[in-house]
Amino acid sequence: MITGASSGLGAGFACALAEAGADVVLAARRADRIEDVASSVEKLGRRALAVPTDVTDPEACDRLARTAVAEMGHVDVLVNNAGLGTAVPALRETPAEFRAVIDVNLFGAYWMAQAAARVMDRGGSIVNIASVLGLVKSYTPQAAYSSGKAGLIGLTRDLSQQWAARRGIRVNAVAPGYFSSEMTRAVPAEGLQAFLGSTCTLGRLGEQPEIDAAVVFLASPASSYITGVTLAVDGGMSGH
């Protein structure tokens, strides 16, 4: 199951996991867009199921997990990718704006993790898509986004502890840096490049295949002795 699978990194993860041999269940609010991604997956020779889902609704998350089991037989992996990004100065950000980001980026990930854990067999893997901004300062004013992603990293550690022995489920996170995506294309290129030049060891945006590899690794048995870890895929930004 992949949330936030209608575009950007989530759509890329769907195709990468399909190429690695997985059938995928695609979840997002934009029904037409996940149908397009499902078609891309099917062209790779794998089954795909598109399920419109709002991860801020715990009941919708449970329905998604039950549908995945009913249609696919079992759930081995959850990629918690649904996310909302905003850039609002702290003294201008309203309570509603702040809560909307946390509702998707942290609460939504928690509801989905709960739903997945209820249906997963032992050996399952949850991969939370956090952000380097949960680890280091932001380029733009993003208190809500950074807080939510830092919270998701903490949630990853806690769930990994709770579910390791009891349920046999590994829980890890990937913390992407700045990748070529819808979100970064909305940022003025010159200013972003100057920021990357001063804060990122590799000095450039990441590309989809560079994060796909990390997600596929943490989703697969190749990482069977790894849990509770946040893997930064950020061009060296968090270690700068």
Nearest one of 131, 226, 237 to 175, comparing CA atoms = 131
Give the C-alpha separation, 23 to 1, whole Å: 9
Task: List active site positions.
Answer: 145
Q: At what angle do helices 8-19 and 208-219 cross, to 10 degrees?
A: 60
23 close to 29: Cβ distance less than 8 angstroms: no
DSSP letter (8 states) at residue 206: B
**Residues in CB range of 197: below 8 A, 6 or more apart:** 203
- Helices (H) and strands (E) in the chain — how many of each? 9, 7
What CA dihedral angle connects 198, 204, 209 and 211, to 10 degrees?
A: 10
Other Cβ atoms closer than 10 A to 223? 18
